[in-house]
Amino acid sequence: MIAAIVDLVMSRETGTRGKKRMDRRVRKILAEVRDRFGSQCGATPSLTQGDSIELLVTGPIPVMYLFHRLMVEGMGFRVGLGTGRITVHNEYADECDGPAFWNAREALEEIRRSKHMKRRAAFRVSEKGKRGEEESVLYCVLFLAALQGMTATQLRLCFRHLWHGEGVTQIAKAVKTSLANVSKALGKTPCYLLADILSWLGRTA
């Protein structure tokens, strides 16, 4: 299994009202992950009281969606990814435990200790993990790296293309801009390559 622990960095800087609004937004996103990718979730995605998101999944796509969705919302985060067995398996991800989560926590702690302030992801994989889990973690990290090179506008446009399947014409109409603007914005990103990768991952899941 693959465990992801996402530390919501910006939550440390919000007041009580801001934190409540953020909690609602995050819970809405987690509901989307559950509804869209429930078959790939080993447990229900959770938001802990410590402002961390915990996921337990069988493949990379739910994690990729979460990364992209959080970035579209402008939420800063750090993520630790881990693979391995699950020894305590309950309905919600934050109630599960085992080597996969231990590895994810260790990876996240590595980021917290790191002097590289812009580092957002780290991973630890189990030598006894199932085939394909290591590759799934790498897909997640590389997907995040690709998103980090996009502007806020490019992130939003690319999200519509990747996750809603909208073409340039549909996107332009939805965001009330010209076809040329959308085409130019997406053309400067790896969005179309990411779409091909997601399509391939979907077929092999």
Q: Are residues 6 and 97 in the same domain?
A: yes
Q: Are residues 135 and 157 in the same domain?
A: no
> Do 112 and 185 fall into the same domain?
no
- 134-170: burial string, b at 16+ Cβ within 10 Å, e else: bebbebbbebbebbeebeeebbbbbbbbbbeebebee
Q: How far is it, in rounded angstroms, from Cα 189 to Cα 4?
A: 26
Q: How many domains does the chain have?
A: 2
Q: Which residues contact 122 (CB under 8 A, 6 or more apart)?
A: 79, 80, 81, 107, 108, 110, 111, 114
- Confirm if 25 and 11 have CB atoms less than 8 A apart: no
Q: What confidence score (pLDDT) does residue 17 get?
A: 74
Mean pLDDT of 108-123: 83
40 CB neighbour count, 10 Å cutoff: 17
Give pTM, 2 decimals. Answer: 0.92
Assign residue 9 the CATH number of its domain: 3.30.70.270
93 and 132 in one domain?
A: yes
Query: Same domain for 16 and 111?
Result: yes
Looking at the structure, tell me whether residues 19 and 104 fall in a common domain: yes
Average pLDDT of the segment spanning 136-162? 97
Residue 205 confidence (pLDDT) above 80: no
Same-domain pairing of 94 and 77: yes
125 contact partners, CB below 8 Å, separation of at least 6: 82, 83, 84, 103, 133, 134, 137
Both 20 and 96 in a single domain?
Answer: yes
Q: Assess whether 30 and 106 both reside in one domain.
A: yes
> What is the rounded CA–CA span in Å between residue 39 and residue 127?
25
What is the average pLDDT across 90-112?
94
pLDDT value of position 137? 96
Residue 157 structural domain: 150-205
Same domain, 173 and 76: no
